[in-house]
Each structure stands twice: as structure tokens, then as C-alpha cells.
Amino acid sequence: MKNRNASFALIVLFFVNMLNYADRYILPAVLPKIRIEFGLNLFQEGLLGTSFVIVFALSSLPLSMLADRSIRKNIIAVCVGAWSIMTMLGGVIHTFKQLFVVRSFLGIGEAGYSPASLSLLGDYAESDNRGKVLSFFLSGNLIGAAFGFIIGGILAEFLGWRYAFFLVGLPGLILAYLSYRITEPGVQVKKEKIEAPIKIFGSIAKVKTYWAVIFAYVFYAFVLGGVSFWLPTYLHDVFHLNLAKGGLLTGILLLTSGTIGVVGGGWISDRLYHSNKYSRLYVPVVGGLIGSIFVFFALIAHSVAVFSVIVFLGGICLSSASGPLYVVMHDVIKPHMRSSAFGLSFLLSHLLGDASAPSLIGSIANKTSLHTSLLLTTPLFLLFAAFCCVIGMKTIRKDMDAIATLEK
């Protein structure tokens, strides 16, 4: 980033994004303990993850539209503070219904920061390094999830699961203040006049590449959400690891493969951009195809060591798609509509993707097994994601050229 304000925004929002995923994935890390205390079945456990993502997805659209019409850093600050408070409240509940409500409303707080952050950072970044900037921001996803799994599993095993919610939620209040101190990039001051929502989404609906990217992300989100939610339980049930070991292994796998995949995917997409600015979608196509193979072989592995190595490789492939997909989305949408476009993408990708993943996988697992359920869904959905990106490659030149003409 070329100036101090941009660097400050990137660093703060990276930690905001990291904490967001730590807050989100603290639950699956401690879920086996909650299962015992509240007597939950697999469907109820999956419902806790699904309810959060549904509320998160439904809240993303109105909050993203608000971000396009107001100061984005203020939306981010309020949302960070709100979700941090809801996370800490998770440590004082005493029934499944209370936990269901708290985790559901956590989604409202987390919904507002993502579209506003991606739009703000995309405006700060130059087109030739936008992949690296957004990928660095997005690397907080799996780093935060890893932190949540590791800290959650250790605290649940030695102090009790309630301490995990308290200790992960508290830093969010500091980040809420730092988010408020971010300076908006100048591009937002140059926005076109505010348009009616129906006109905005009518314009977005005409961008074919945008829809190809969204549906690709639906399938990626399903796999990432489902695997992340159920992995500690899978390690516990199949390989008989305790919560501390299972959380630590999950965290290490997510941290290493996620960081390498997200940062590497952004770097590769920027390199491809220099030779052909329409070629960023090659990254998620290859990632989906190769990732589906790794996921399949991981799920038929009988050794935790073999399983871990293959999941690590598959995680790199899966994570490499995030940065290029969001950069392409940014590059084919008009500047004053980008927060709304990101919000709509979150609504659809989460509602159809990782919102349904925990409960759907849990429901199939109740009738078969968790192993069979993951085997039936995750490799196939990665192939679908790659196919959607191939479709997007046919229209990306036209859609990017249309935005480039507007920005001249």
C-alpha cells in the first residue's frame, strides 16, 4: 500500500477479519463439550452453525447498501463492537435455545464489516496489486479460524468452554475503536449520485461474470463452511482425538494451508494479470479441480497423518480461490455499487453455501455417518465451483472493459 492511511486500514481490517473468524469458529472447537452439557444431536449442532450464517447472510445486503450510502468505517466499527459483545454473551448462556439466539444475532454484527471492508480496501489498492491486498485481508479468514480452533480447544479442555467465548470476544472492542480511526479513501467521495436500490441491483443483475463468480463462491463456501464446522468433530469421532489435540490439529491445518493458499492465490492472480488482465479466474478453476481430488483421498484415508497431509494440500487449493474471486467481483462492478454487490454476494453465497452446509451435512450424517456425508458432498461441490469459473471466463473481458471505460 502506497500511503500511511491505506496501510493502517489494511492492518486494522486484517485483524478485524481474523477476529471475525476466530469468533465464528470458536463454537465448533468447543462443540463436543456443549453437546455433553446440553444433550445435543448432530442436527442441533449443525443448526447452531446454520442459524448464524442465515442471519449473517440476510443482514449483509441491507448493511452493505447502507455502506454505499454512508461512511464505511463507521459501519465496520459498530459491527465489530456488536459481534464482540454477542460472542462474550455466549459464555453466560445455560440452554440450547439461549445459545441458538446468541449465535444467530452474532451474525448481524459480523454481516456489516465484510462488504464495507472489501469495498474500502479495493478502492485503496491499485489494479495491478489488488489481488495481493485483498488476499492479505482474506488470509485473516483461516488464520482467525485456526486461532479459534486452537484457543477454543485448549480452553475447553482445561478451563471449560465458557472461557473461550469471553477471551476471544474481548479484543473486538479495541478493534472497534481502531476501525473508527480509519480514513476513507478519496474514491468514495467521487461517487455518483445515490440510486434507488432497484436500479442498483438491476444494473448488477446484468453483469454475467458477477453471477458466475457468485455461484462459484456458493460451492466454495459450502465446502469451506462444512469442513471447517465438522472437522474437529470428525477428528474426534473417526481418529479419537481429544478436543485439545483435535482443535490444535484443525488450527494448524487451517493456518498453514489457508495462509499459503490465500496469499499464494492472490500473488499468482496478480502475476497472471500482468500478462493477461482477464486471466485471474484460472486460479479458482485449477484450485477447484485439484482440490476435489485431494478432498476425496483425504476422506478415505485411515491414518490421521495421511489425512492431515492431504487436507493440508487440499486446503491450499481451496483457499487460493478467495482472493481472485473477490478481485474479479470488484473489477466488474461500478465503484458506487461495490459494497452492495459484495453484500448481495454474501447473501447468496452464505445462504446457499455455508449456511446450509453444517445442517445438511449433519442431517445426512444422522442417516449414514459423518464420513459418508462429507464424502458425498465436498468433492462434487468443488468440481461445480470450477465449472462456474469456466463459465465466467467467457464473459470477463466484456464486463471488465465496461468498468474500465467508466473509470477513465
Whether 353 shows a pLDDT value over 60: the answer reads yes
DSSP letters spanning 103-146: HHHHHHHHHTHHHHHHHHHHHHS-TTTHHHHHHHHHHHHHHHHH
CATH code for the structural domain at 4-183+194-407:
1.20.1250.20
Local confidence band at 1 (pLDDT 50, 70, 90 cut-offs): low
Q: Which of 20, 257, 2, 14 is nearest to 136 (CA)?
A: 14
Task: Give Cβ neighbours of residue 273 (< 8 Å, ≥ 6 apart).
Answer: 127, 128, 131, 279, 280
How high is the pLDDT of residue 14?
93
Contact assessment for residue 162 and residue 91, using Cβ atoms and an 8 Å cutoff: yes
Taking every pair of C-alpha atoms in the chain, what is the biggest distance, in angstroms?
Answer: 60
Cell of 186: 478519496
Q: Which of 184, 137, 100 is nearest to 21 (CA)?
A: 137
Q: Which of 119, 111, 118, 109 is nearest to 79 (CA)?
A: 109
Q: Which of 173, 248, 223, 243 is nearest to 349 (CA)?
A: 223
How high is the pLDDT of residue 189?
41
- Return the SS3 of 364: helix
pLDDT tens by residue, 194-230 = 566 777 778 888 899 999 999 999 999 899 888 877 8
Give the domain ranges of the chain.
4-183+194-407
pLDDT tens by residue, 94-105 = 888 888 888 888
